[in-house]
Amino acid sequence: MSLGDDAGIVGSYGVVGSFPKDFDYGPDDHDMENGAVPPDNRPRILLMGLRRSGKSSIQKVVFHKMSPNETLFLESTNKVVKSDVNSTSFVQFQIWDFPGQIDFFDSTFDSETIFGGCGALVFVIDAQDDYMEALVRLNVTVSRAFKVNPNIKFEVFIHKVDGLSDDHKIETQRDIHQRATDDLADSGLDGVHLSFYLTSIYDHSIFEAFSKVVQKLIPQLGTLENLLDILISNSCIEKAFLFDVDSKIYIATDSSPVDMQSYELCCDMIDVVIDVSCIYGLKEDGEGTAYDSESSSVIRLNNGTILYLKEVNRHLALVCILREDSFDRQGEPTVPTNSCNLRTP
């Protein structure tokens, strides 16, 4: 479905076939007979932290489209839950959700199995609770995981910050960062890098944080960023994102800093396109999908900004932000040397 008078600006790129199968876009229609990437070959993300820290809620909101309010009724996880994320466009991976009350370092758990094939370890800390015990568990977890697999990316989600003031958020992040770093230095692991994020399931911060985590599992990230840099340098686009439509995780963006408000606008645009397409874009018999090769949208904001979305393949969308005067000059036969021509290959 097309929303906006922009046909022909950007053609459908289809599926890029030059990437390894382990990091594919996901099974396209012609690949369904062969099946998806085998689970054993997928990157693994571990969700760890004390019980009731919000691990399961994060997974449900980001990857299962659960409303944040519905997560209030989730039961506490009492066993390791393994979930395959097959719809994510560029990286198919597994998420292992560990219950906080279980000591997975005792003799009944195989650390090699847990951490050996792990790509990223996300440790969730409840910012609204006393986090001293969580910091102790974080130190033990990182220390033992690093010994098994030094290549793990360690990510710390300082979670449930929606209930904190801005000053309190900053102070909490500073304190946790300092204590965690000092604890690792005392353990002789001062070379281990921890990435910290302030997150909440009630805003887009959790999607932005998980975007950063997933990007680290994409070996072609640098190439994708360079391609987006080339795109905006040869047009008047101010910011470009490559989004996974299902999860609203952006798998790549250009090298300019990400503004949270811009990211939120792009996420909201994807919701609008999908919702409107579900109402008006399906065939009369209900066949087809709400997001397909014809999907595109142009939204003009009252501040002179244009949001532009175009389907890349059935999982990916290119979402761009640019000024209205730049968009109005698209495809002109001749362009003065001091103006920009919005045109993509």
The pLDDT of residue 104 is 64
The pLDDT of residue 332 is 46
8 Å CB contact between 194 and 180: yes
279-285, Cβ contacts within 8 angstroms, sequence gap of 24 or more: 280/1, 281/1
pLDDT tens readout for residues 196-208: 999 999 999 999 9
Residue 242 and residue 221: Cα distance in Å, rounded? 11
- Of the candidates 320, 272, 224, 289, the one whose C-alpha atom is nearest the C-alpha of residue 28 is 289
For residue 313, is pLDDT > 60? yes
Residue 339 and residue 189: Cα distance in Å, rounded? 53
Tell me which residue has tokens 């001293």.
132
Tokens for 244, please give them. Answer: 């996974």
- Mean pLDDT, rounded, for 104-124: 82
pLDDT tens readout for residues 260-279: 999 999 999 999 998 888 88
Weakest-pLDDT range from 19-23, 123-127, 169-173, 307-311: 19-23
Residue 153 and residue 21: Cα distance in Å, rounded? 22
Query: Where along the chain do its domains lie?
Result: 44-217, 220-342
The pLDDT of residue 298 is 92
- State percent of the chain over pLDDT 90: 49
- Reported as a pLDDT band with limits 50, 70 and 90, residue 336 is very low
pLDDT tens readout for residues 154-181: 999 999 999 899 999 999 999 999 999 9
For residue 30, is pLDDT > 90? no
44-217 homologous superfamily: P-loop containing nucleotide triphosphate hydrolases (3.40.50.300)
The pLDDT of residue 197 is 96
Tell which wins on pLDDT, 5 or 93: 93
For residue 29, is pLDDT > 90? no
- Mean pLDDT, rounded, for 51-76: 88
Q: Residue 43 belongs to what H/E stretch?
A: none
Tokens for 85, please give them. Answer: 């994320």
Query: What burial class does residue 92 get, using C-beta atoms within 10 Å of its C-beta: 0-12 exposed, 13-18 middle, 19+ buried?
Result: buried
Q: What is the CATH number of domain 220-342?
A: 3.30.450.190
The pLDDT of residue 184 is 95
8 Å CB contact between 201 and 68: yes
Q: What does the mean pLDDT of the chain come to?
A: 81
Sign of the CA dihedral with 32 first, then 34, 37, and 40 last: positive
161-165, Cβ contacts within 8 angstroms, sequence gap of 24 or more: 161/127, 161/198, 161/199, 161/200, 161/205, 162/200, 162/202, 162/203, 163/128, 164/127, 164/128
The pLDDT of residue 279 is 83
The pLDDT of residue 275 is 87
For residue 247, is pLDDT > 50? yes
The pLDDT of residue 208 is 94
For residue 232, is pLDDT > 70? yes
Distance of alpha carbon 211 from its chain centroid, rounded?
A: 2
For residue 20, is pLDDT > 80? no
The 8-class DSSP code of residue 77 comes to P
Q: How far is CA 170 from CA 77, 142, 167, 210, 233, in A?
A: 30, 23, 5, 20, 34
Prediction pTM value: 0.80
Weakest-pLDDT range from 50-59, 157-166, 276-285: 276-285
